[in-house]
Amino acid sequence: MARPAAPEPVAEAAKDQPFQTVSEQFADLRVLRYQVPGFETLEAKQKELLYYLYEAALAGRDITYDQNYRHNLRVRRTLEALWPLNQQRMAATSNTQQVEQAQKFNVYAKRVWFSNGVHHHYSTRKFVPDCSREYFAELVKAADPKTLPLVGGETVQEFVMNMTPIIFDPTLDAKRVNQEKDADLVQTSATNFYQGLTQKEVEAYYARKIDKKDQRPVSYGLNSRLVKDKNGAVVEQPWKVGGLYGEAITQIVYWLGKAADVAENPEQKKALQKLVQYYTTGDLKVWDEYNIAWVHDTKSRTDVVNGFIEVYGDPLGYRATYEAVVSFKDLEASKRIKAIGDQAQWFEDHSPIKPEHKKKNVVGITAKVITTVVESGDAAPATPIGINLPNATWIRKEHGSKSVQLGNIVEAYDQANAGGMLDEFALTDAEKQRARQYGSLAGKLHTDMHEVIGHASGQINPGVGTTKETLKNYASAIEEGRADLVALYYLMDPKLVELKVVPSLEVGKAEYDSYIRGGLMTQLSRLTLGETVEEAHMRNRQMVAKWVYEKGQKEKVIEKVTKDGKVYFRINDYQKLRGLFGQLLRETQRITSEGDFNGAKNLIENYGVKVDPALHKEVLARYQKLNIAPYAGFIQPRLVPVEREGKIVDVKLEYPSDFAQQMLDYGRKYSFLPHVN
């Protein structure tokens, strides 16, 4: 898996003013900006390559919207059509009620843009506008009908009737991804990966299709929608040139082809050409060939992640959402992460997992810090802070993987972090001082180790099958927990001091403090009262934190303390806590290696899902006083080519400052798909 979640908690600056990281805040969201240091020092050919990859990344933006929900493109295009009219109405009146309705419409539009649809990007629950249905209808009827996404001969009145429940009814398609243990996860999820199917039918389809004895299985279902044809047979509709989403994929292929023509070296050229071949054919064996070529491209300064990558949006873990990350290597910052990657075999050999679950020969881990140039699809506006790819276990075992930290993204988060969280939720002055001195390094190191030696560690027993087959809807949470536990176990190891990546084990203590604080308390700020935990990363963090708290309770390894009427958690013995992390790592690896579904279910359901309502209520009240939005995402930089005699001779970098304007610009330039797909 590729992505630890972003940390919990922004007008182009004039040249003589500091760069403004925080742009705006609305609902539970903050919009930030990030810089791209070092871009100007790249060679002209590298900039040209990055420009082509930038265009390829944005060309697939429509796909993510449609994958998330079948009505998302119509909703987004409705909002794009109504936005300028709403701004005019707001500017032309002093009627406070009208202004309030217009402002509420604006917030809803920005929430849809932020989440790539009508479901929250993190919780996947549907959100609805605070403006009235009547105000929405007024806007639609005042708009030029030619600008509205009408389909099938709809009249404007019919359009209003059809779109109103889609936008305003919170019970209609209420969750994009449902993970409730007793539900039909396919039928109760609004994601557009399945049509007319039940969970049992999907599982039966793949049970017939997948050979568990295959040591090099393709990623079944990764790039298709699963539907029933007119005869009732289950069939896949592949996403490829000439297939589903073909209009957008054709644009992606065009720009990737231009990028391949200016590749830095033969290895990069081969990888890009394989990616084009995959998009053209939809062949998952070619996808594997591309990933192998991409892993072996280690010399290029520039790089790209582009494709159907992560399966968090599929309740069954087969189908992947489109995403793209365009970047270049930060040469200086990569020294720390490379030091860890170079010792991957040592970490594997000294892991507390069972000997038979260890890799005897860890190969090909490339670790680096990257400078992000642009992100798109499922990677934007909300973004990962670390990536480990490819996801295919057998490719990682035989060919290795690339592990990266998004350095300038992490830096932007650090710059934007508002004060107050530490003072509110940390108990002692020593804990606060340690966090202020080492917290930034500790967080970066956790991400490094989660990606480099976490996801890349361990192996599945022969004949067991992949985790999406065996652990099913618990696979993502177990895998993220396993990778977290590898990092946590080694953060208190003297080996890190020996490697000179930390000055002392106080760095490890700072991360232990932060992890327990987050897993047991502060991440609850992301839930509304009464909700259970469903998102995979939140489940993993709570599962790990609650398990070690319970198992160490007798010896008070972690102690629940009430001071001045507020709850805190204090770590009393960091070495014993490390031992508990090691025990849980051993168990999560056993579950993964043996394909123990019941073991995974018991861990996640018993520790990762349920929320203490009293503590949750307290956390929400304390967090609300801080006025910090719990989620953040980014306005993307803009690349502008400089041409001379029809050829690109340079590329300029600009930093837009208006989130809504960027979304409107993207909607005009990168809308390639029909309203309904």
Model pLDDT, residue 10: 31
Cα–Cα nearest to 364, from 345, 386, 349? 345
Reference 132, options 89, 172, 168, 107; nearest CA is 168
Q: Are 543 and 608 in contact (CB under 8 A)?
A: yes
Mean pLDDT along residues 170-199: 97
Residue pair 284/219 in contact by the 8 Å Cβ criterion: yes
Mean per-residue pLDDT, 11-21? 60
pLDDT band with cut points at 50, 70 and 90 for residue 417: confident
Task: Please tell me what DSSP assigns to residue 104.
Answer: H
User: What CA–CA distance (Å, rounded) separates 191 from 179?
Assistant: 12
What does the alpha-carbon distance between residue 43 and residue 49 come to, in Å, rounded to a whole number? Answer: 10
- Quick check: 35 and 43 in contact, CB under 8 A? no
Hey, is 453 helix, strand or coil?
helix
- Burial (Cβ within 10 Å: 0-12, 13-18, ≥19) of residue 210: middle
Q: Is the pLDDT of residue 613 over 90?
A: yes
Angstrom distance (rounded) from CA 518 to CA 217: 37
pLDDT of 363 reads 85
What is the predicted pLDDT for the residue at 11?
Answer: 31
One DSSP character per residue, 126-161 reads B---SS-HHHHHHHHHHS-GGGS---TT--HHHHHH
Q: Exposed, middle or buried: residue 462 (CB in 10 Å: 0-12, 13-18, 19+)?
A: exposed
CA distance 8 to 525: 9
Contact 501, 404 (CB under 8 A): no
Q: Read off the pLDDT band of 352 (50, 70, 90).
A: very high
CB within 8 A of 161, min separation 6: which ones? none
Average pLDDT over residues 561-583: 98
Per-residue pLDDT band at 8 (split at 50, 70, 90):
low
Q: Which of 378, 359, 595 is nearest to 475 (CA)?
A: 595
pLDDT at 53 over 60: yes
Span 148-161, average pLDDT: 97
- Nearest 5°: the CA angle 297, 459, 295 is 5
Token readout for 182 is 């007793």
User: What gap in Å lies between CA 638 and CA 648, rounded to an integer?
Assistant: 16
pLDDT band, residue 375 (cuts 50/70/90): very high
Q: Give the separation between CA 567 and CA 615, rounded to whole angstroms.
A: 8
Indicate the pLDDT class of residue 5, thresholds 50, 70 and 90: low
Q: Contact, 216 vs 465, CB < 8 A?
A: no
Q: What average pLDDT does the segment 106-129 reach?
A: 97
Tell me if residue 79 falls in helix, strand or coil.
Answer: helix
Q: At 138, give phi and psi (nearest 5°).
A: -60, -45
Q: Which of 161-175, 240-254, 414-428, 499-513 has the lowest mean pLDDT?
A: 414-428
Spatial neighbors of 519 by CB under 8 A, at least 6 apart, are 541, 542, 544, 545, 546
pLDDT digits (tens, 9 = 90+) for 475-518: 999 999 999 999 999 999 999 999 999 999 999 999 999 999 99
Sign for the CA dihedral angle at 409, 410, 411, 415 comes to: positive
pLDDT score of 1 more than 70: no
In this predicted structure, the answer to whether residue 15 has a pLDDT above a threshold of 50 is: no
Angle made by CA atoms 550, 555, 560, in degrees to the nearest 5: 55
Whether pLDDT at 443 is above 60: yes
Please say whether the beta carbons of 426 and 513 come within 8 A: yes
Highest-confidence segment of 288-292, 448-452, 626-630: 288-292
Q: Return the higher-pLDDT residue of 417 and 643.
A: 643
Give the residue extent of every domain in the chain. 330-632
pLDDT band at 191 (very low <50, low <70, confident <90, very high): very high
Q: How far is CA 57 from CA 248, 251, 259, 305, in A?
A: 11, 10, 12, 9
pLDDT of 604: 98
How many CA atoms does the CB half-sphere of 236 hold within 13 Å?
17
pLDDT greater than 60 at residue 281: yes
pLDDT band for position 540 (cuts 50, 70, 90): very high
Residue 195's H or E segment, with its range, is strand 194-195
Q: Which of 161-165, 362-366, 412-416, 526-530 is the most confident on average?
A: 161-165
Q: What is the mean pLDDT of residues 557-569?
A: 97
What mean pLDDT comes out for the span 596-614? 97
CB distance 169 to 128 below 8 Å: yes
Q: For residue 4, what pLDDT is reported?
A: 55
Which residue, 291, 302, 306, is CA-closest to 327? 302
Residue 13 has pLDDT above 50, yes or no: no
Do 259 and 56 touch, CB atoms closer than 8 A?
Answer: yes
Q: Phi, psi at residue 406, to the nearest 5°?
A: -85, 85
Q: How far is CA 96 from the centre of its chain?
A: 39
DSSP string, 608-656: II---HHHHHHHHHHHHTTT--SEEEEEPPEEEEEEETTEEEEEEEE--
User: What pLDDT does residue 12 have?
Assistant: 34
Q: How far is CA 535 from the centre of its chain?
A: 11
The residue type at 67: Q
Q: Quick one: pLDDT at residue 420?
A: 82
Terminal C-alpha separation, the chain:
28
Helix and strand numbers (H, E) in the chain are 25, 15
> What pLDDT is stored for residue 364 in this prediction?
77
Neighbour tally for 435: CB within 10 Å: 21
Confidence of residue 17 (pLDDT cuts 50, 70, 90): low
Mean pLDDT to the nearest integer, 391-400: 94
Q: What is the mean pLDDT of residues 147-175?
A: 98
Mean pLDDT of 155-162: 98
